[in-house]
């Protein structure tokens, strides 16, 4: 009986966390009530183009087995060439997991957009729209946040276990060889916090 009570409390705690998008702590849940399931691929592609979101990068590299990203291929949000995560080599990379329903992500996305413009080709930033039923809302949020870096989509949460995702936002730092060298599981509150994390994990400084 006691074990059942403990399990029940754990499920309740996770549900409460995911249902509070305005909370300052990381959140996890699914998009609800979104129109993503009925929006055509053509409309999503048009919205992506209007937002100025760049095409997804090539992923034909080969990361070492040790500390590599999961060998999963994700679609580009709004259309484009799919990306095999283990093939993302050659450039230090920041991978940010977010969703349109995630409150803290709304505050963090403009910081990542600023970093994308500041670091230029010395750093690659990728977003992964994660566990989100509303790709149209995700593209709209990206546009409102000034995000133009490439965006992937993982609606089925296929990378959740491999990256140990317990809430959103989550940011993974990958070196030029394709090795995961750090993970942050709390939202960045300022641009200085973000640049410090990039310098700490990847050794790259803003120009």
Give, for all 207 residues of the chain, the pLDDT tens digit.
444 433 343 333 333 234 333 334 445 555 443 444 578 999 999 999 999 999 999 999 999 988 999 999 999 999 999 999 999 999 999 999 999 999 999 999 999 999 999 999 999 999 999 999 999 999 999 999 999 999 999 999 999 999 999 999 999 999 999 999 999 999 999 999 999 999 999 999 987
Its pTM surpasses 0.75: yes
Which residue ranges form the domains of the chain, and what is each CATH number? 2-202 (3.40.30.10)
SS (H, E, C) the chain: CHHHHHHHHHHHHHHHHHCCCCCCCCECCCCCCCCCCCCCHHHHHHHHHHHCCCCCCCCCCCCCCCCECCCCEEEECCCCCCEEHHHCCCCCEEEEEECCCCHHHHHHHHHHHHHHHHHHHHCEEEEEEECCCCHHHHHHHHHHHCCCCCEEEECCCCCCCCCCCCCECEEEEECCCCEEEEEECCCCCCHHHHHHHHHHHHCCCCC
């Amino acid at each position: 009986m006691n074990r059942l009570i403990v399990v029940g409390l754990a499920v309740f705690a996770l549900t409460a966390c995911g249902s509070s998008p305005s909370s300052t702590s990381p959140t996890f849940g699914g998009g609800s009530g979104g129109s993503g399931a009925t929006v055509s691929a053509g409309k999503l592609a048009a919205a992506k183009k209007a937002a100025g979101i760049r095409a997804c990068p090539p992923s034909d590299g080969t990361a070492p087995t040790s500390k590599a990203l999961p060998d999963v291929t994700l679609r580009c949000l709004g259309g484009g060439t799919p990306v095999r995560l283990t093939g993302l080599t050659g450039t230090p990379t920041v991978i940010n997991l977010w969703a349109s329903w995630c409150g803290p992500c709304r505050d963090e996305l403009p910081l990542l957009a600023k970093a994308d413009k500041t670091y230029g080709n010395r750093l690659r930033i990728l977003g992964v729209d994660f566990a989100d039923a509303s790709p149209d809302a995700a593209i709209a949020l990206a546009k409102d946040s000034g995000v133009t870096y490439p965006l992937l989509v993982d609606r089925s949460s296929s990378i959740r276990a491999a990256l140990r995702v317990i809430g959103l936002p989550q940011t993974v730092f990958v070196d030029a060889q394709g090795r995961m060298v750090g993970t942050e599981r709390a939202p960045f509150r300022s641009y200085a916090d973000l640049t410090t994390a990039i310098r700490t994990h990847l050794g790259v400084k803003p120009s």
